[in-house]
Amino acid sequence: MPFAYYESLNPEQRRTYRMSDGVTALRVREPTALHPLVDEVREALAMGERGPLERATTRLGKALCERLDVPGVRVEVLDVRPSSEEGELHGLYTWEPGRRPRLQVWMRTAKQARVVAFRTYLRTFLHELCHHLDFLLLELPHSFHTDGFFQRESSLFQQLVPGRGPRGRRAGPDGEPGR
């Protein structure tokens, strides 16, 4: 079932929405080889210093893009999340004509400036990376938040952080839920 904003889309955007919704997973070649890079991100986040976290996140982003055969994205880690009455901004993907795409992710909460939890940080990074992948891997003209989009984000997370799959089932080595 489409999200409520689907009704406001024009016919071409609705086609793109449905295409996006139909792709529910992205398969990374040899995801276990990326686990040390994920550990670097975890350790850098725990240190609470922006520079090391940006370098670790950049390495992970570069490796993911290489394994998915898409051009890389410039990663920028920022400190305290901006906020407004609507909430906090966790991450942002921008792509301006003639410039390298940019992925920004914030590492501290807006209200108390605390370092965010590792899973939250990594999921935010992967969420913004999925926008990049929508354009360059799936070749979609728009990147909509669809059920398929969120499932793709989760599929990447499960490959990078093996553990509990849906409904608490243990994930297998390929990131898929075990039996």
Q: Output the pLDDT for position 171.
A: 43
Per-residue confidence at 178, pLDDT binned at 50, 70, 90? very low
Model confidence at 170: pLDDT above 60: no
E-assigned strand segments in the chain: 74-80, 83-84, 87-88, 91-94, 102-108
Model confidence at 1: pLDDT above 80: no
Question: 53-111, pLDDT tens digit by residue?
Answer: 999 999 999 999 999 999 999 999 999 898 888 888 899 999 988 899 999 999 999 99
Q: Output the pLDDT for position 177.
A: 41
Q: Output the pLDDT for position 162.
A: 83
Read out DSSP for the chain? ---GGGGGS-HHHHHHHHHHHH----PPSSGGGGHHHHHHHHHHHHHT-HHHHHHHHHHHHHHHHHHTT----EEEEEEEPPEETTEE--EEEE--TTS--EEEEEEE-TTT-PBPPHHHHHHHHHHHHHHHHHHHTS--SS----HHHHHHHHHHHHHHS-SB-GGGPBB-TTSSBP-
164 or 41: which leads in pLDDT: 41
User: What average pLDDT does range 124-142 have in this prediction?
Assistant: 97
Q: Output the pLDDT for position 164.
A: 52
Question: 2-61, pLDDT tens digit by residue?
Answer: 788 898 999 999 999 999 999 999 999 999 999 999 999 999 999 999 999 999 999 999
